[in-house]
Each structure stands twice: as structure tokens, then as C-alpha cells.
Structure 1
Amino acid sequence: MLIRVRSKDGNFRHELDPGADVTVLLQKILETSVNPDEGSITISNQPRGGETKLSSLKGRSLKTLGLNHGDLVFVQYKEKPSGPSATTESSSGEAASSSLVDGTAQRPWEKVEEDAVDVYWRSKDGKVPRQRDAQFCKHGPKGMCDYCMPLEPYDAAYHKEHGIKHLSYHTYLQKVNPKSSSATQFLPPLSPLDYRVKVPCPTGNHPSWPSGICSTCQPSAITLQSQPHRMVDHLEIASTDIIDRFLQAWRRTGMQRFGWLIGRYEPYDVVPMGIKAVVEAIHEPPQQGELDGLGLGLPWEDGPRIRALAAHGTTPLTIVGYIFTDLDPTEEDRTKNVYKRHPGSFLMSSLEAIFAATMQSAYPTPSKSSSTGKFSSRLVTAILTGTKDGAIDVSAYQVSEQAMAMVEADMIEASVDPGIVRVKEEDRSVNSARYVPDVFFSYKNEYGLEVKKSAKPAFPVEYLMVNVTHGFPQNPVPVFQSTQFLIENRPGLEDQTVERVLSQLSGLGAPDVVDSRHRAPGQAQKVFELAKMLSDWHLVAFLDTTQLFPPVILYLLMGKRACTDMNPRQDDMKVLMRVVTSPALMGDPSQLDPLLATDGWQTLMTFTRENAPQRGTTLGAMDEDIPQDILDQIAAQEAAEASGSGPASGAASGTGTPGIKTCPHCTFENEARRTDCEVCGLPL
């Protein structure tokens, strides 16, 4: 077969046997190159990007590499150095080449562990089935023709008919590298975009940027265009309670809030080979809220602990995105919000798009189809903002690969107009060394013609955005059954304390709960309430910070042996996480048994018993600051109950003393306006 080779020495044609080893091609390249360093020779199926050292492919035939008759490969190499050090450098280069030939250096994409949803879709062909057409199909029931044969997942007519704007990630992979191909590609089909100057220059013929630049090391001109695919097709919030709980802080303070979306990725059958991000909880990092924005500390120091904890659920969870509020009540009606994000103004500001690109670059997607082992990102940006009728709704977006590459190259910045992105000026100083190639974008003019325009000094932010649909399930089955526990990092508004946890456990009678084998028949309701209370992400995340259950992150950082020597209960948090995320938890009381047997739980119950309020001293020493009139009411209530004439049963249901609600869990009398108990925090 004929293989065409293009290098800086020219274009060459070589007749090669399809079954020949790749070293035959290497030898042909050496014959047509000028003073090449053999260990530096790379080949690629595109002019720029995706280069692989040819020596690392030794032992594989040309056919198995995916090379066919007439294929064109692009070759790059470094020349052998000259001078006294040439011999030393040449020998070291040969040693490196030998190491690659022996296979000791593994290619990045071969050791990648992909997400479960990627493993699932790689096992499917993704074809869209079609029923037999009664009008055009003339064959029998077991036959097939052009009118009823399955469609490829990237079929343009099917996408247009169903209003699907973007190809899903695996559909895009099918399009650029069909599974029906008889040969395996010698290189992965995807290469992450990189708009930075290559330092050092692959030719080695001039000083590195910013001292010098050439057509080989400088990035090509950029044409902004709508991304044909998206990494996530749909954002699903597992329960409306998750959003309502997140909004409580804004409703009480008016300050904007930010939270990380904890969830997982699943197949999404609405689009061919689709992927959806399912949100099970929102974790709020330390932040400073403002009326028109917020301050956030990055990098997130608690991130590794949260990711490690979430990964130990029955269904492993991870960070699938982030959410923030942009809400502004109207002056006429404070119960309604300003409709500020719409096609006539902006949907996502330039500052938010740059932030999204930065975050997506920090959370890349592992991919066996990328030459670097990573490709783009599945991190979703969700925004809570006002609708046209003044209500609150979720909007979900991602930014394109071009946006990520431009931010990494420090090429763009936000502008005063939220719908406009500014292109930075080139800077050749040593500290910055920013190179900005020509940037263009296309649009239709008033005559309906496609026009290309320079993006300098600015361009619309829409060219960087990728829309993601969103919604809630019709039949919610959330992993976490409760959203009642106080939320982290809300100082002064909701303060998480060990005392509150102990009080809630005591109110539910947790110390009396035993495993299912020794449990009395009448304890079913108590076990149900305890299981529901424990199945709360915010409670589990808080317990992970206490000394009662050692943090999971220690187990990962120090290793099992070291962590066992330090604390024999290193697995207790993992057990807790698996138990509270079990799908059968609320229907099978025995699911609690593994947790009840842990040392961490026994320690927690010991503290619960010691801190339980005693009869006659309902509140104990923790309530020194309670006003005397409240204490007098408590004493009167206890005296009435002791004499048998008090309205204990009525008070528990809120029908006792006017203006007072007695907590059914700890018997503390609260003001009637309260919805949660002031002492134990449980609902009244």
C-alpha cells in the first residue's frame, strides 16, 4: 500500500506492506530526513497536535495502527546536536529511544480509568432503531431496507427532526472514529486544543518565545464557532428539596450563594448515547455573599476531602458542577425577581464564562480517546435566576473547548458589558509572554449572508457557551432522604455543632436502637426516623470533620496501614456513607446493622447518652443564657405533667399553652412562630 509522509524535508511516498512492522516506516523516514534524532521522531494524523513517538509503536504492524492505502502522516523530529556534547546527548537520546522501544513508557490514554457511564456507552453501538415503514418497506417482517434500518447516532436528519442541537460526547466519538472501522487507530481521535506557543520550539532553530517565534511553534488563527458536541446533555436535580434548601440562605439574608453539585453521571436516552449529570446534594464552601455577587476562595481546600467522602457511597458520587444565585427582588413586588437574563440581554456573563472555563480546566474528563488521556470537562454551571413572570428557575451551561483553551492561553478577559468578551493585547514581556493569534467569528448580516469578522477587540459571549437542558424527575428517588440538617459554612445563620447532633440523636432515641436480630417489634418507627435523619449529606459531611468518625481523606493520604495504626476506626465513615446512600435503607431496617456495629457509632452513642438532658433539668448547663421567664414556663410545665393535670398531649401537637409549641422530641416549649425546635433543631 502507498503511505504518504510529510515533514519539514518535503513530501514523500513509500510503498509498504500492510503487515510490515512500524520500524519499516521509521527506516524510510530516516532515509529521507536530514540529520534526524531517531528518538525524537513523532508521527500524527493531523498537521498540529496528537504527536506520538514513532519508536513507542514498535512491534505493531501498519495495518493494526489504522494506516490504509493513500493515508497521509505528518512527521516531526529534532536534529542531532553538533559540537563536543553531541556524542553525550546522542547516547542519552538513544537510551531514551531504547526505553520507548522496549515499551517501558506507557502511552497516556492506555492507563486512563474512565467513568462508569463511558464504559457503558463504549460497549454499545449507539444506533437508533427504527420500526418497519408500512408505506415504503416491501420486505417481510424479518427483512431490512433503507427505510427501516437503524440510523447512526450522529445522523443529521434525525437530530434536526428531534430538535437536538449538539451531538453527545460518545456520538461525536462515533462520528470522528466509527466503531465499524476494521483497524484500530494508531492515535486517539481527539486532541485537546492548545492556543499557547510551543516552548521550546519543536524545530529548535531559534530562541524560545518571547525571544523568537516561527510558524511551527506559534498557534494558528482561531475561528470561533458553535461547538458541535457537548460533554453533558442534561442536568437533573434529584429533588426539589435540594434547591429549596439551598435557596433558604438567600431568602433569609438576600445575599447571593454558591455551592458545589454532588452527584453522578448516568446514561441519558433522550438523545443518542447521551449523558446526564444527576445532582444529589449541594455542598457550600466558605464564601462571602453580597447583594450583587459573592467572594469565593480558590482553590477549594476542602475539595479533596469532599470528593473522597462522596466516592464511598453505594453509588459513587463526585463533583458534577456548581450552582450560584443571581437574584434581585423587584421594587414593586419583593416576592418577585428581576428578569435580567434573557436573549435580549445576556444568558451568561463574560466573567462567569471565564470562571466556568477555569473550573472546567481544573476538572478534566478522563478519556481513552484523547492523546493526553484527558479531554474537555463535564463540569456543569447552574444558575438560579429570575424568570419572565418573576419566579426562580435553573439555567444550565458549559463553555466550549475553545473557551477553555483561550483562558489557559490568557487571551481573553471580562468586560463591563456582561455579554461581551474582550481579547487581550499581545505581551512580549518575560513575565507575561502572551501571544494572541488572529481571532475571528462568523455571523449572518442583515442580508442573511455569512460574514467573518475579527474578534478583536471584543466578541459576544455566546460563542463560548454550550447549552445544557435541565429538569427534575417525575418520580424522585433521591439518594439522601433528608435535607433538614444544618448546612455548612453559614455562620450566624446555621451553625453546625456536635451538641446539636447529639441532641437530635437523643430525641430520636438512637442509643436504644439495636441491630435487627435483637430489635423489639415496636421499634420500627424509631428505626425509620433514625435512618431518615442519618441519610443527609450535610450531616455525613459534618460528622467527617469530627473526631467521632475519622475523616476518609486520612485513609487515602496515609494509606490503610498507617491509618489503622493511628485510628482503628478508619473505615467507619465509609460504612456510614454506604449505609445512608443504600437504596433499600428506608424499606429494610437491617440496612442499619453494619453502621450500628462500628466503633465510631458506639462512641457517638456514648456521647449521646452523656449529653442527654436529665429529668428535672430539661436543658442542663447548655442553657444558661435562656431568659428566666422561659425557665419558669418549663418548670411549670414539668410540675403540671408530674401532677397529671398538665396539657402534655395537647402541647405536643401545638394545642397547649397559647403562643407556645412543645417539641415532641425533647419537650422544650418554643414560641409558636418557630418551625424548628430551638434546642434539638427537629421539626415541631
Structure 2
Amino acid sequence: MLIRVRTKDGNFRFNLEPTSDISELLAKILDTTTDADVSSLTISDQPRGNETLLLSLKGRTIKDLGLNHGDLVFVGYQSKPSSSGSSDVVTVPVSGEQSTNDLDPAKRPWEAVKEDPVDIYWRSQSGKIPRSRDSRFCKHGPNGMCDYCMPLEPYDAAYHKEHTIKHLSYHAYLRKITPKATASAASSLPPLTPLSYKVKVPCPSAGHPPWPAGICTSCQPSAITLQSQPFRMVDHLEIASTEIIDRFLQAWRKTGLQRFGWLIGRYEPYDKVPMGVKAVVEAIYEPPQQGELDGLTLGLPWEDETRIRELVASASTPLTIVGYIFTDLDPTPEDRTKNIYKRHPGSFFLSSLEAIFAATMQKNNPIPSQSSPSGQFASRLVTAVLTATADGQVDVSAYQVSEQAVAMVEADMIEASVDPGTVRVKEEDRTQGSARYVPDVFFTYKNEYGLEVKKSAKPAFPVEYLMLNVTHGFPQNPSPLFQSAQFHIENRSGIEDQRIEQVLSTLSNLDAPNIHDSRTSKPGEAHKRAELAKWLSDLHLVAFLGTTQLFSIDDMKILIRVVSSPTLLEDLSQLNVVLATEGWETLMTFTRESAPARPQTSAPGASSRMDEDIPQDVFDQIAAEEAARAGGTSSSAPVGIRICPHCTFENNHGGTDCEVCGLPL
């Protein structure tokens, strides 16, 4: 079979057998080059992007790579550094041979990637859309199949149009771009190509000084045409309970200042979209921030990020950060119970500043992928906004930004504009150390005549070209992992302050020190255990307990695993493992010591009072009155003031006669 190869040295044709090892192709390529560094040789099916090291493919045949007769591949390499007086000889072994001079092949990063469980699930499924038998057109029996009832591919355009699905899901898109005839080649040449609009440094041609001193067609990025991304990484945002949003909104209701929070949750299959993925939110963690009436100030990276990520990863169902949410609410002057409707088709949905922030967050949180040469691709981080609807109520809107937006932010090409609906394209900068190359950027739109028109995006373009809509909703039958959200929320200084005294007081009221292992518990303790379990099932409480240094790391993992169990309230015996931890015993010790003193006897008197704030004379009077009702007087306290009926003198003693007139009282 004939394989065509294009390198910077020219175009070449090589005759190879389908069973030939890739090392034979490598040897033929080296014969056409001058001083090529064998470790830098890359092969791709595209002029730019999707490059794979040739040495990493050693052991595979031409057929394994999916190459057919007449196929064209693109090969790049870097030259060896010149050294006088020495000569390097590179031996390339053919199939089945080994050489001590041979360089070890680089490990293919995408093969060692551990993907998210939702990706593992969809890779194991066919993803085809089932269809029932059509009574009008199907002429076969019940066990037959024809073009009218056979399953559709997950990327079928007619199905998506019929069900008004705007974007393909991530895995449906993967199925579309992976050729069936060369399915085995997907593990060798991953189909996804991460976008990059940065100048390649050093230049592949090695014919000039690196940017910004020089630039050529080999290292400069191509012109950019902004277009709607055909797929999205997340198809739906599901919030496990309305209480999660309500608790987040309480801070804004009390202060009028905007709030920000990280969405803690997980990813699951979404059945409303072929091979879809949804982000399920179980809690909102609020990092340190400074709220304002029209925005907020946020510090990144936030201090507790590593601790919170490790904590939620140990939940009964491992959780992670699936996105973030912020408020943008402003009550109307006429009716303070309603909010200004500011995000709509005539205005903007995400401002340019918010879109750039979203791109930055997505860039910093890529997902592991076996379909990308780097082992990472895109991000599933969702941007959620709590904003006003047309009728002045509060609702959630969810978005992502495109991979073009992420690549433009990474290349430092765009910036926010004074107009929130417009993104500015930066000017080129050749300053050494902060060089910025900005290629031509275009976007297309339909003019007043319905014609497609291409326009330069410099100096600015609409922010909608960078956005992807994500649907959202709440489950009909909520079953959140965390049963409570009543504990004070972190970093709400002056509104809700988290204190250990609050925890100890609640534990004392729940009689937690006297709740034991369910196997040794006393009759009637079941309801106490249920109340304790529900109160503990609160992420904000668990996160706070992790800062008290009472629980070890292992104890914290046990605690969050138990309190996030979906069957905790049905099977309270799961709480036994928490009650047996050393951290819990330490917490119970502090609870007992901080509890108020209980009466030792039932006898009245100052020594039996339960509240130190009640005045002494009140206790004395109560004791004397109870003693008088019992038929005697108390020797420890007077009976109080008694007025003599004869001389009206106020007697303050325990005797029977008046101190002045001597007559009986």
C-alpha cells in the first residue's frame, strides 16, 4: 500500500505493507531528513494539531493506525543541536528488533487517564436511540427491523431537530467524529484536538528566532472564525433540593449584598439527551468574599479548596466541584418584593467580564479524557446565575462558555468591555516577556436581507458567540444526600457565625452524650438517634467540624461518608461507626463539660438551683413557701415579709409573734 508523507523537507511516498510496523515508516522518514531528532518526530492526520509522537506508537502496524492506501499524513520534527567534532548515529530497529541505542517510547498520556464514572458508563454503552415499530411503514414481523424502526445514532440530526436539542452531548459528539472504519485507531490517534491560539514556541521549522523576535506560517495561529460550538460538556444542571438555593439566598435577603458559592455535586447520565450528562448539586460552599450591592470581590484560589475537595470526595457518593453560582439581584424601587429584570434577549445573559471569568475557571478545571492527546479536554464546570425573571421573581440560569472562549482567554486575546454584552479584542503586543499575538478574528451573522455575512471581530464582538446554554431544574421527588442545611453557613461574618459553642449546645439538647451504639441502646432512644443523624447530615456542619481539630482525617472521612448515606434515616445503625470514632468521643467529652449543672437532689434550696442567673432571694422565698406547705418552716431561709394585722409592722423573720407589739401574726 502507498502512504504519502508531508514534512518540512517536502512530500514523499512510501510503499509499505498493512502489517508493517510503524518503525519501518519511521526509518523511511529519517532517510528523508537532515539531523532530525528522532525523539521529536510527530505524526498527525491534520496539518496542525492532533500530533502524536512516532516513538510512542512503536509496536503498532500501519493497519492498526487506520491508514489506508493513498492516505496522507503530516510529520513534524526538530533538528538536533549541532556539535562540532562529533557524529550521532541513530539506529531505528525494524519490527521485532531491539537496540540499546533506541529511545524508550514516551508514555501515551491518554491511555493512563482515569475518567469520571459518567464517562466510563457512556463508553460502555452503544448510545443508540431506540425506536418502536412503525405501524404505517414497517411490513416485517415483530422480530424484524427495517430503516423505519432501526435505532438511530446518538448524533442523528433529525432527532435533535425534532426534539429541539440545540447541542450534541459530549459523548454523542465523540461518536460522530470517530470513524467507524478506523475505530481501533482511536486509541492511537485520539479524535479530539484541544484548541490553541498561542504562537508555537519554539517554531517547528526552527528557521528563525522564537516569538516575539520572529514568526512564520509554521508557528503562528490561523485566523479565527467564531461559531456555535456543536457540543456541550454538560447538558443539564439539577439542584437536589430547593432548600439549597433558599439557604444561599438568605444572605442576600438579609444584607442586599451579592453572594458567590461553589456548587458541590457529581455528574450522572442524563436521559433527556442522547448520551447526555447532568451535574447534580448537593450543596453550596461559600468561600471568603466581600459582597457589594452591584458585585463582589473574590479571592482565588480560595484558602480551603484543597480541604473541601478532599472532604467531599470521601462522601458515600464521591462529590466534587461541578460549578459555581452567584447572585445578580436588585429590587425594583416601586415594589421591593420584585427584582429588576436585567438579563434578557434585549440586554445580555452573561456579561463579558463573567464570560471571561467562566473561561478562566473552565481552563483551570479540565476533565480527564482518553480521547485527547494530552489526556485532558474541555471542562464540565457550570456557571449558574440567580437573577430576576420577567415577572420580578428569582430563578436560576445556567451556562458554559465554548472552547474557543477558553483558548482566546488562554492566549490573552480578549478583555471585558464597558458594554456588558460586548467582548473586546486586545491589540497585538510584541513586548519581550509579555508578548501577545492576535490573529484575525471574524464572526458571521444574518443581515436584514437574511444573508450570511462575515464581519471582523475587531475591536469588539457580541458575547453570545462564546456562550452555551445549559438547562436546569429540580427533581420531582427530591432525595438529597445531605438531609439538613440548618447549620450556620461558613464565611457569613456578622450574619451567621460558626462557633463550637453552638455545636456543643445543640449536641447537649439532643442528648448526644447519652446516645450509644444501637446494639446497646436503651428503649426509646431511636427518635433521639434519628434527630442526631438528621442534624449531622449537613455539609456546612461537617466542614466546620473539620476545622476544630477534634477529628482526625480518617475520622472526618468516616463522618462524611456516613452522614451522606442516602439510607441513613432508614438504617440508623450506620451511625454506630461514627459513635465509635475517637473524634466523636472527644467531642462528647467537651459536650458533657459544657452542659449546665443538673440538680443533685429534689430538696429545695440554693444548692439545688439550675440557673445561676436567678437571684438568691427568689430561691429562698420558694424554699420557704414549699416548707410552709409541708407543715413546717425552713431553717435555711426566711419565710419572707409578713405584715402584722395589729400594728401593720413588716416582719421579716420566721417567728410567730410580731417583733413590735408581740401579738400573734
Work out which of the residue numbers 581, 585, 597 in structure 2 matches 1:602.
585
Kindly indicate whether the alpha-carbon contact (under 8 Å) linking 1:313 and 1:581 is maintained by their aligned counterparts in 2: yes
| Counterparts in 2 of 1:610 and 1:114: CA distance versus 1, 3 Å | same
281, 284, 287: which one aligns with 1:285? 287
Segments of 4+ in structure 1 off by > 3 A? 80-83, 85-88, 90-94, 97-104, 178-182, 629-644
Q: Which residue of 1 aligns with 2:606?
A: none
Alpha-carbon distance in structure 2 between the residues aligned to 1:641 and 1:316: 60
Range that drifts further, 529-538 or 8-17: 8-17
| C-alpha separation in 2, matches of 1:157 and 1:271 | 13
Q: Given that residues 125 and 179 in structure 1 are in contact (C-alpha distance below 8 angstroms), is that contact kept between their aligned partners in structure 2?
A: no
Cross-structure match for 1:165: 166
Instruction: Say whether the 8 Å CA contact 2:8–2:205 is kept in structure 1.
Output: no
Q: Name the amino acid aligned to 1:147.
A: Y
1:622 aligns with none
Report if aligned partners of 2:91, 2:101 keep a CA contact under 8 Å in 1.
no
CA-CA distance at 1:181 after TM superposition:
4.2
Do 2:252 and 2:258's aligned partners in 1 also have CA atoms closer than 8 Å? yes
CA distance in 2, matches of 1:481, 1:392: 24
1:454 partner amino acid: S
TM-score in terms of structure 1 length: 0.86
Partner amino acid for 2:400?
Q
**1:26 match:** 26
1:98, 1:406 → 2: CA distance?
Answer: 44
Which digits, 9 at most, give the CA deviation of each residue in 1:166-208, with x for residues without a partner? 0000001000114674533321111211111111111111101
2:500 and 2:373 map into 1 onto residues whose CA distance is: 49
Query: What's the CA shift for 1:641?
Result: 13
Write the letter of the residue equivalent to 1:109. W
2:261 aligns with 259
- Cα distance in 2 for partners of 1:635, 1:410 equals 77
Partner Cα separation in structure 2 for residue 162 and residue 593 of structure 1: 49
Code of the residue aligned with 1:529 in structure 2: it is: E
Cα RMSD over matched residues? 2.6
Instruction: Compute the displacement of 1:12 (Å).
Output: 2.3
String of CA shifts for 1:567-615, please: whole Å, max 9, x gaps: xxxx111100110011110111101011111111111111111111224
Indicate the residue corresponding to 2:68 in structure 1. 68
Could you tell me whether the CA contact under 8 Å between 1:192 and 1:375 is conserved in 2? Answer: yes
> Are the structure 2 counterparts of residues 92 and 486 from structure 1 closer, same or farther at C-alpha, using a change threshold of 3 Å?
farther
Of 392-401 and 41-50, more deviation after overlay is shown by 41-50
Partner of 2:642: none
Give the conservation status (yes or no) of the 8 Å contact 2:39–2:103: no
Match of 1:663 in 2: none
Structure 2 distance, partners of 1:641, 1:59, is 96
Q: 2:385 aligns with which of 366, 383, 386?
A: 383
Q: Identity percentage over the alignment? A: 71
Alpha-carbon displacement from aligned partner over 1:129-153 (angstroms, at most 9, x marks no partner): 0001101011111111100000000
In 2, distance between residues paired with 1:143 and 1:633? 91
Q: Residue deviations 1:500-551, cap 9 Å, x none?
A: 101111110111111110012311111110000000000000011111113x
Pair 1:102–1:29, CA change in 2 (3 A): closer
Change (3 A) 1:84 1:633: farther
CA distance, structure 1, for counterparts of residue 308 and residue 12 of structure 2: 55
Distance of 2:622 and 2:348 partners within structure 1? 64
Aligned twin of 1:240: 242
Residue 132 (structure 1) aligned with residue 138 (structure 2): no
- Structure 1 residues 638 and 302: alpha-carbon distance in aligned structure 2, compared to 1, 3 A threshold: farther
CA contact (8 A) 2:238 2:475 kept: yes
Who is 1:653 aligned against?
none
Q: Which moved more, 1:418-427 or 1:55-64?
A: 55-64
Deviates more, 1:579-588 or 1:633-642: 633-642
Q: Does 1:612 align with 2:590?
A: no
Look up the equivalent residue of 1:584 and give its one-letter code.
T
- Shift in Å at residue 82 of structure 1? 3.2
Hey, what's the Cα distance between the residues in 2 that align with 1:101 and 1:372? 24
Q: Contact 1:63 / 1:183 at 8 angstroms: preserved in 2?
A: no
- Structure 1 position 635, deviation (Å): 11
Partners of 1:643 and 1:33 in 2: how far apart? Answer: 112
Shift of 1:222: 0.5
Query: Which secondary structure does the structure 2 equivalent of 1:153 belong to?
Result: coil
Distance in structure 1 (CA, Å) of the matches to 2:528 and 2:244: 25
- Alpha-carbon spacing, 1:520–1:92, altered in 2? closer, same or farther (3 Å): farther
Give the TM-score of the pair, scaled to structure 2: 0.88
Shift in Å at residue 100 of structure 1? 11
Q: Secondary structure at the match of 2:291?
A: strand
Letter in 1 for 2:315: G
Sort the Cα spacing of 1:92 and 1:494 in 2 relative to 1 into closer, same or farther, 3 A. farther
Q: Is the 8 A contact 2:264 2:323 kept in 1?
A: yes
- CA offset at residue 24 of structure 1? 1.3
CA distance in 2, matches of 1:394, 1:500: 32
User: How far did 1:30 drift?
Assistant: 2.0
Separation (CA, whole Å) in 1 of partners of 2:63 and 2:505: 70
Q: CA 1:367–1:349 in 2, change beyond 3 Å: closer, same or farther?
A: same
Letter in 1 for 2:421: G
Q: CA deviation at 1:78?
A: 1.8
Distance 1:126 1:103 in 2: 38
Q: Aligned pair in 2 of structure 1 residues 339, 86: CA closer, same or farther (>3 Å)?
A: farther
Other structure's SS at 1:403 match: helix
Q: Tell me which amino acid in the other structure corresponds to 1:580.
A: V
Query: What displacement does 1:485 show?
Result: 0.2
Q: Partner residue of 2:561? A: 578
Q: Distance in 2 between matches of 1:444 and 1:641?
A: 92
Moved more, 577-586 or 67-76: 67-76
Q: Distance in 1 between matches of 2:346 and 2:416?
A: 19
Structure 2 CA distance, aligned partners of 1:67 and 1:487?
A: 58
Matches within 5 A, 1:199-598: 199-550=201-552, 552=553, 571-598=554-581
Task: Return the alpha-carbon distance in structure 1 between the equivalents of residues 205 and 117 of structure 2.
Answer: 41
Between stretches 25-34 and 101-110, larger displacement belongs to: 101-110
Post-superposition offset of 1:431: 2.7
Counterpart residue identity of residue 433, structure 1: A
Structure 1 499/182 Cα, relative in aligned 2: closer, same or farther at 3 Å?
A: closer
Q: Give the CA deviation at 1:102.
A: 6.0
Q: Distance in 1 between matches of 2:33 and 2:329?
A: 63
Amino acid at match of 2:575: L
Secondary structure at 1:470's aligned position in 2?
Answer: strand
Using the TM superposition, give the Cα deviation of residue 59 of structure 1 relative to its aligned residue in structure 2, in angstroms: 1.0
SS for the counterpart of 1:183 is: helix
Tell me which residue corresponds to 1:647: none
Q: Which moved more, 1:346-355 or 1:26-35?
A: 26-35
Aligned amino acid, residue 302 of structure 1: D
The separation in 2 between residues aligned to 1:82 and 1:597, in whole angstroms, is: 68
Aligned to 2:412, the other structure's residue is in SS state: coil
Distance 1:262 1:101 in 2: 48
Alpha-carbon contact 1:58-1:101 (below 8 Å) kept: no
CA-CA distance at 1:77 after TM superposition:
1.2
Bigger CA radius of gyration: 2
Contact 2:37 2:78 in 1 (8 A): yes
C-alpha distance in structure 2 between counterparts of 1:496 and 1:33, whole Å: 68
Conserved 8 A contact 1:37-1:93: no
Q: 1:616 touches 1:638 (CA, 8 Å); kept in 2?
A: no
Measure the CA separation in 2 of the matches of 1:373 and 1:432. Answer: 28
Q: What is the SS of the residue equivalent to 1:375?
A: strand
The worse-fitting range, judged by mean Cα deviation, of 465-474 and 511-520 is 511-520
Residue 50 of structure 2 aligns with which residue? 50
> What's the CA shift for 1:73?
0.9
The alignment partner of 1:522 has SS state of coil
8 Å Cα contact 2:221/2:439 also seen in 1: yes
Deviation at 1:20, TM superposition (A): 0.7
Inter-partner Cα distance in structure 2 for 1:270 and 1:66: 34
Q: C-alpha separation between the residues in 2 aligned to 1:260 and 1:98? A: 53
CA–CA distance in structure 2, aligned partners of residues 583 and 637 of structure 1? 50
Q: What does residue 568 of structure 1 align with?
A: none
Q: Which consecutive unaligned segments of at least 5 residues does structure 2 have?
A: 601-610, 627-665
- Paired residue for 1:147? 148
